[in-house]
Chains A and B, each alone.
Chain A
Amino acid sequence: MITYYACCFAVVLLLTQPAFGVKVNGKLSSRLDFYPDNADGTASEGRSGEVKIDAFHDFEKNRIVGEFIFRGDEKDNGRRITEARQAYFRSPFAGFDFFVGNRQEFWGKAESKNVVDVINQSDAAANEGKSGKLGAPSISAERYLDIGDLQLWYISSFREKTFNDSDAHPSSGVPVSSAQYARKEGKYADDFAARLSSFAGDWDLAGSVFYGTARDPILSVNSNGRALNPHYALQKSIGFEAQYTGNVTLLKWESLHGTQSSLIGAHDFAAAVAGIEYTYYGAFETIWDIGLIGEIQHDDRPQAAANQFCVAGLRLVFNDIADSNFLFLASVDRKTDQSFVSLEASRRINDVTSVKLTSQFYNARTTTSAFGQLSDDDAITFTLNIFF
């Protein structure tokens, strides 16, 4: 209901833009997906469209911000969404900046996975990577201190992860049933988080704490095997982030330690990502930059696809007028012999149009592994974006 009103608010913003000086712009996206290995009974292709509207209005020292997503899909109900990714009021008070409403926030340093990024729920059905998030309904405060930037968060209700339909992609092939929660208040349980981030010389550091409902559900197949049951655990965790920025080398670290209480009991957990990124600027006496990425992921939570992934990547930035770039990432879990490869290329066509080509390939030796269940979900996606 909040989302509905927020989106009505977006329309009002658009209509009132000339009268009140509200600054509005947006993006219209058209997307085609192809699934070359689709199983019988699942989609071989998909078509969807999305309108994103950004608006803000400043008055005195305050600001109202709106970022609204309207996404339709030809077949996949899971991808359809009307979402106020951001819809908040910001005001300074007593040295703090206060934010009330839906917000999107990013915590983390690594490229392949951000274990400390706990504020927002993932809009996983959008399959848009890290930018596909659901707004966190919250009251938050930020203050710049001599020792760094302090953030305090109260998140008033929980957003469930979005899932694609069982015959869409990616999907485990069975419908997802209603969510269950370890906390008796269910989706209305309160979450709390805080973070202090700073930098000194070549080092960027941050520490955070979180008490609330874990963002990723533990998925189990029900007794008749015809549905997936998502169960959301209670999580208490401490996060740590570090990045060393050298001349051409970045060293990255993220870790999250804590406990999760769920149907299967209370368990301590640890998740971490360690990485290096080395960039050849002006490679081969051209204006190209070539980045080499290496990361190791560890995650012993039951929600993780595997305990350990080794990730290798290549980033090409052509530094041309069209901002052409290319990213390749391969994640390998040697223990259960499964891997995931993603390719992404994008460039600008003109001032208001850009195109993006992405592809995702899953490979697994056994059908019981996480990627084994996604064996028919290889995808090639073409997206056309028009900005207004």
Chain B
Amino acid sequence: MKLATVTTFVTIASAVMTTAAIASPEKGLEIAIEADSRDKGFGNSTAQIKMILMDKYGQSTERAIRNRTFEGDNEGDKSLVIFDSPGDVRGTAFLSHTKKADSDDQWLYLPALKRVKRIASSNKAGPFMGSEFSYEDIASQEVEKYTYKYLRDEELNGLDCFVVEYDPVDRKSGYKRQIVWMDKSEYRVHKIDFYDRKDALLKTLTYEDYNQYQDKFWRSNRLVMINHQTGKKTELVFTDWKFQTGMTERDFEKSALKRTR
């Protein structure tokens, strides 16, 4: 019994020391840059999304949205989200110009008023459409928005993964840190643990059903976000991915919001 306790202690202590010894910011950044570079060149893409919101009792409701993304050159990506259901928000559109260093520029189109409204982008931690995804979860993930610490290697679902800590640079982020599992072969994210500002585990996001497009770009068709503190869950089911659709940067300007349907 005593030996077992000591052995356990030594194992834990050596694990902690090993983790401390290899928690490397440089390697963490290298992994993030490599993951980013592997997705470069997709140009633009579109997808249909079914959002399934479930409460802790298992009751669910669905949303239908469309996503359009335009890859940025010097700045971050531009994305347009169009709501198809429920009926009261049908036609509402959300445009985001992601910035690598500054706050993102964001506009909302309200179809009943035909009004394009610039909105403050500091609402990062707020829920997106009442879901367990926050605005910062759905925003384009730019390398500059985090600092990194490589923590360890670990197997996840039979895949050899890097485990990297992402620390948000923006103090308005709802998270103190994120722990990201990324496979070593293709640099695809498979799981993220989100820790709130009090460093308590808040949510876990898992990525399932990856498919490769244009022999290069991997996209997950099912994202599941579980909120450990509320018991609620949101699934995003992606279908009909299309790349190089002929969209131009003009389709992501503020004036284009009025033309979305």
Contacts and interface: CB of A to CB of B under 8 A. Distances in A.
Interface of A: 23, 25, 27, 54, 56, 63, 97, 104-106, 108, 130-131, 142, 144, 149, 197, 199, 204, 243, 245-250, 279, 281-282, 287, 289, 319-323, 348, 350-354, 385-388
A385 B254 CA distance: 29
Nearest to B105: A199
Given A199-B105, A323-B89, A387-B90, A248 B120 contact: yes
A352 B125 contact: no
Contact of A131 (B86, B112, B123, B254): B112
Contacts of B172: 247
A350 B250 CA distance: 35
B86 A247 contact: no
B159 to A, nearest CB: 34
Given A106-B113, A131-B112, A348-B88, A144 B253 contact: yes
Given A23-B261, A282-B125, A282-B126, A247 B120 contact: yes
B198 to A, nearest CB: 10
B61 interface: yes
Contact of B85 (A104, A130, A281, A351): A351
Nearest to A355: B88
A97 B258 CA distance: 12
B interface residue count range (under 10 / 10 to 19 / 20 to 34 / 35 or more): 35 or more
Nearest to B254: A199
21 contacts: A63-B261, A105-B114, A131-B112, A142-B255, A149-B253, A199-B254, A204-B118, A245-B120, A246-B120, A249-B120, A250-B118, A279-B120, A319-B126, A321-B53, A322-B130, A348-B88, A350-B86, A353-B87, A354-B86, A385-B88, A388-B87
Interface in B238-261: 250, 253-255, 259, 261
Nearest to B129: A323
Nearest to B115: A106
Contacts of A388: 87
A241 to B, nearest CB: 11
Q: Which of A97, A287, A353, A386 has the most CB of B within 10 A?
A: A287
A351 B85 CA distance: 7
Contacts of A248: 120, 122
B109 to A, nearest CB: 10
B123 A281 contact: yes
Contact of B126 (A105, A281, A322, A354): A281
Contact of B113 (A27, A63, A131): A131
Contacts of B87: 25, 27, 351-354, 385-388
B30 interface: no
A281 B122 contact: yes
Contacts of B120: 245-250, 279
A281 B105 contact: no
- Give chain A's interface secondary structure class: strand
B254 A354 contact: no
Contacts of B88: 323, 348, 354, 385, 387
A388 B115 CA distance: 23
A145 B62 CA distance: 39
Nearest to A321: B130
Given A144-B250, A279-B123, A319-B130, A243 B118 contact: yes
A388 B103 CA distance: 38
Interface pairs A-B: 6 shortest CB-CB: A387-B87, A247-B122, A149-B255, A351-B86, A321-B130, A106-B115
A170 B167 CA distance: 56
Contacts of B41: none
B119 interface: yes
A281 B124 CA distance: 9
B61 A321 contact: yes
A228 to B, nearest CB: 28
A54 B125 CA distance: 34
Contact of A287 (B89, B91, B103, B127): B127
A245 B118 contact: yes
B173 to A, nearest CB: 12
Contacts of A131: 112-113
A351 B62 contact: yes
B124 to A, nearest CB: 8
A199 B119 CA distance: 13
Contacts of B253: 144, 149
A323 B89 CA distance: 10
A352 B114 contact: no
Contacts of B103: 247
Q: Which of B61, B105, B130, B259 has the most CB of A within 10 A?
A: B130
Interface in B46-71: 53, 55, 61-62
Contacts of A56: 261
Contacts of A245: 118-121
A149 B254 contact: yes
A323 B92 CA distance: 13
A134 B254 CA distance: 24
B130 A320 contact: yes
Nearest to A114: B115
Contacts of A348: 86, 88
A14 B253 CA distance: 32
A93 to B, nearest CB: 15
